[in-house]
Amino acid sequence: MKRIEQGVTRPAQIAVEIDGARVMVHPGETVAVAVLASASQRFRDDRSGAARGMFCNMGTCSECTVWAAVGTSPWRRLRGCLVPVEPSLRISTRDPESRP
Ligand code: FES
């Protein structure tokens, strides 16, 4: 992922966790941006196991659905393109309840 750098001022980056890996993002960016900034750039899997990616970036298609939790709060499903990142955010691209 490449961010526009010229003429843009952003707040200092914060760390979020995606599938156990640390990813740096700017406050105000969305969960979807965090996933795109990760090494895998992978959102959820479909029923055949194929990776899905974001499509509409406006909350309509649900292709960016992931699970997220802040700190020790319970996991919840959300559309990543609609939710801003926050400190202590953990993101999972698979249902955390079904992980071995
Ligand atoms: S990319 Fe379509 S709802 Fe998020």
Tell whether ligand 1 has an atom less than 6 A from the beta carbon of residue 31: no
Mean pLDDT by 10 residues, the chain (100 residues): 90 97 97 96 91 95 96 95 97 86
Give 74 Cα–ligand 1 centroid separation in angstroms.
22
Q: Please tell me the predicted confidence (pLDDT) of residue 97.
A: 85
User: What's the gap between Cα 60 and its chain centre?
Assistant: 16
Alpha carbon nearest to ligand 1 atom 3, residue = 59
Answer left, alpha or beta for residue 49, where phi above 0 means left and psi between -120 and 50 means alpha.
left
Q: Please tell me the predicted confidence (pLDDT) of residue 78.
A: 97
Tell whether ligand 1 has an atom less than 6 A from the beta carbon of residue 59: yes
Residue type, 86: E
Q: Please tell me the predicted confidence (pLDDT) of residue 100.
A: 63
Tell whether ligand 1 has an atom less than 6 A from the beta carbon of residue 44: no
Q: Please tell me the predicted confidence (pLDDT) of residue 44.
A: 87
Domain 14-91 falls under CATH 3.10.20.440: yes
Helix or strand run (H / E) with residue 77: strand 76-79
* 3-class state of residue 18 by DSSP: strand
Whether 80 and 62 have beta carbons less than 8 Å apart is answered as: no
Tell whether ligand 1 has an atom less than 6 A from the beta carbon of residue 63: yes
Domain residue ranges of the chain, discontinuous segments joined by +: 14-91
Q: Please tell me the predicted confidence (pLDDT) of residue 1.
A: 78
Give 32 Cα–ligand 1 centroid separation in angstroms.
8
